Chains A and B, each alone.
Chain A
């Protein structure tokens, strides 16, 4: 099943890439791409006993796109993707979308943002999925079975899907600046009341601290916006079809408004907590895996079996017997009976392009 994970992720990335290029959050644009790629065929031909597992895998992969830190457009694409996959699946009864408790707040916020920006199709689809009970309310998004060896399976996330980091904006927000200027003013007053002359040795703080901070943050925001927009405009030249310019500009205004409004709230807490979590994993990793990894990373000596087979030469039938396992069923079998057929397993080799 895990060999499918990368393939499914690649397909989803491709779909969302195309959706991102349309620069629209309308469901029509999405369904056009869906039909074009014939994405519902992803369920065809799955072996019967694997069907449910595969559907589970596909829905879990698509679910990740619904959450931060992806951009608003990608999250909308993720929602549409979930809706489409849920309805195209071939499992019966339908496999549900797992919604974890920790993600509920994010989803609610996403819904309110879409409502404020008047993206009725987004809200309609989200509410519809909740209404038809497509969600199942769980503790965690995926089934966890303490798979420590499978860490390397996290496939790389598309950079262009990610939300622009807005850590400076969150840190230096309006409230903080206001408080800083108040405190600064009080400090200056106290200082001047204590020692009337401005002594150079007592000037320990920047006189224009608040102003400088604010300007730096605005510069950063402008630089980010320019960088983002320049890459967008280069893509504009490539994309042939697109919505009308008025719709586009209003849609872009919506996007930027939602991004900006969330930049000054706690949206970047996701990235903060990610950083925090990343640190946690690093701390626990050496403790958990110190003994096994120390053992595995030692220079591997060739096994005794390999060395023995290489060095010992015995001729003829005895050598053949010595190499193969003694099968207890063959102790009483006739001499001219063939050993049982072995089926070769299919190798899911992917060619990395």
Chain B
């Protein structure tokens, strides 16, 4: 029945405040568009006077009642302070009565006694937000169409990390519905993609340019029983086939496959708030959670070219060189007779100064591997 179908496209909680039941994103979008007037989701600037006139006509109110209504319900009646005496909104007022403010005042007083300067990462984050919010594209074809869907996707740290595995998202991305999963994959940066394999103590200058990302191009996403493989390049292999065959032999419900580059985000049937999987490099697995699905709004970034848009990136402490404690470690040595510990990290300069003479000859015994720090993407 049509009524029953439309009901299943309205997202409902499967577990309250945790995740929803699976629903098809394009149908969800259609449901909203069915209920709304195009003016309600268009990008046009709303006109307030026109609204008042229209309202009076619709309700059949005379001018006197209408003017009384507008004056009573205007936002001026909500002002707690006279217009010319607006207080400083950065400080908690002295005579606050709200419970939230009492707590906040305590923190503010505490903060004044300690000096906590803002670090550069927060500056970068603010700058990023300032640039992208409300951005309109120059060319009309780059405009995200009205009524398109915006998804907020959290990508978590790989399973092999020891800290913050499932609690802190490593990055939060915004994507429009018309993007493909392949574009999502390209936007996810993982440290394991940059690893260079091999021992280079004898020839530290010839560290190869190509990284793991170029060697092992295969990846897949798993959403609701379907594996989406990356098949764009001839080297890509289907990583999911192992799991599918294993599942078949053990009476699991059957899984299906599809191509990442052919699937747009609106074609997915997913649960909001439920963890799914992104696997690349064969064994580097990340949890992926779609935290929000909504219609575009005129205040969002409307330029298609900026998507996938990174809105939050988690910062993780980097390990510095054991010698200078200033630069991030780039070489990882073991069996090293010069190092205080095994293994040991060095930055490039300290590494060369300690292990090689001025002609570039290797001194002593050691094994050296190029090291990519976890916080390389900070």
Contacts and interface: CB of A to CB of B under 8 A. Distances in A.
B322 A96 contact: no
B216 interface: no
Interface string B144-179: 000000001010000000000000010000000000
Q: How large is the interface on A (under 10, 10 to 19, 20 to 34, 35 or more residues)?
A: 35 or more
Contact of B16 (A96, A281, A348): A281
Nearest to A86: B75
Interface in B112-151: 114, 116, 122, 125-126, 133-134
B266 interface: no
A4 interface: yes
B299 interface: yes
A31 interface: yes
Interface stretch (B88-96, B200-208, B224-232, B240-248): B88-96
B340 interface: yes
B365 interface: no
B35 interface: yes
Interface stretch (B97-105, B187-195, B302-310, B366-374): B97-105
B362 interface: no
Q: How large is the interface on B (under 10, 10 to 19, 20 to 34, 35 or more residues)?
A: 35 or more
Nearest to A49: B122
A196 interface: no
Given A28-B72, A35-B78, A120-B69, A144 B272 contact: yes
A146 B91 contact: no
Nearest to B275: A146
A151 B18 CA distance: 9
Interface string B30-43: 01100110001100
Contacts of A35: 77-80
A7 interface: yes
Contact of B18 (A49, A102, A144): A144
Contact of A7 (B15, B70, B99, B340): B99
B122 A42 contact: no
B326 to A, nearest CB: 10
A129 to B, nearest CB: 11
B72 A27 contact: yes
A296 interface: no
Interface in B58-90: 59, 61, 65, 69-70, 72-73, 75, 77-80, 87-90
B72 A348 contact: no
Contacts of B107: 346, 348
Contact of A38 (B65, B80, B116, B289): B80
Nearest to A328: B322
Contacts of A194: none
A343 B116 contact: yes
A11 interface: yes
Contacts of A131: 46, 48, 51
A121 interface: yes
Interface in A123-156: 123-125, 127-128, 130-133, 136-140, 142-148, 151, 154
Interface string B284-304: 000001011111011100000
B134 A124 contact: no
Interface stretch (A87-95, A224-232, A234-242, A264-272): A87-95
B190 to A, nearest CB: 20
B297 A133 contact: yes
B36 A137 contact: yes
Interface in A78-130: 84, 87-88, 90, 93-94, 96, 98, 100-102, 104, 120-121, 123-125, 127-128, 130
Interface string B11-38: 1111111111001000010011001100
Shortest Cβ-Cβ A-B pairs, 9 listed: A144-B273, A45-B92, A138-B294, A139-B11, A7-B100, A139-B293, A137-B295, A31-B77, A87-B75
Given A35-B77, A281-B16, 16 more contacts: A35-B79, A40-B80, A44-B88, A44-B89, A44-B91, A44-B101, A49-B122, A101-B32, A121-B73, A131-B51, A133-B40, A138-B292, A139-B294, A143-B152, A144-B292, A328-B341
Interface of A: 3-4, 7-8, 10-11, 26-28, 31, 34-35, 37-46, 48-49, 84, 87-88, 90, 93-94, 96, 98, 100-102, 104, 120-121, 123-125, 127-128, 130-133, 136-140, 142-148, 151, 154, 277, 280-281, 284, 288, 328-329, 331-332, 343, 346, 348, 350
30 contacts: A11-B99, A31-B78, A35-B77, A37-B97, A38-B80, A38-B96, A39-B98, A40-B79, A41-B80, A41-B93, A43-B89, A44-B92, A87-B75, A101-B11, A101-B32, A120-B61, A121-B69, A132-B48, A133-B299, A136-B294, A137-B41, A139-B293, A140-B272, A140-B273, A145-B289, A148-B18, A277-B16, A280-B14, A284-B14, A332-B325
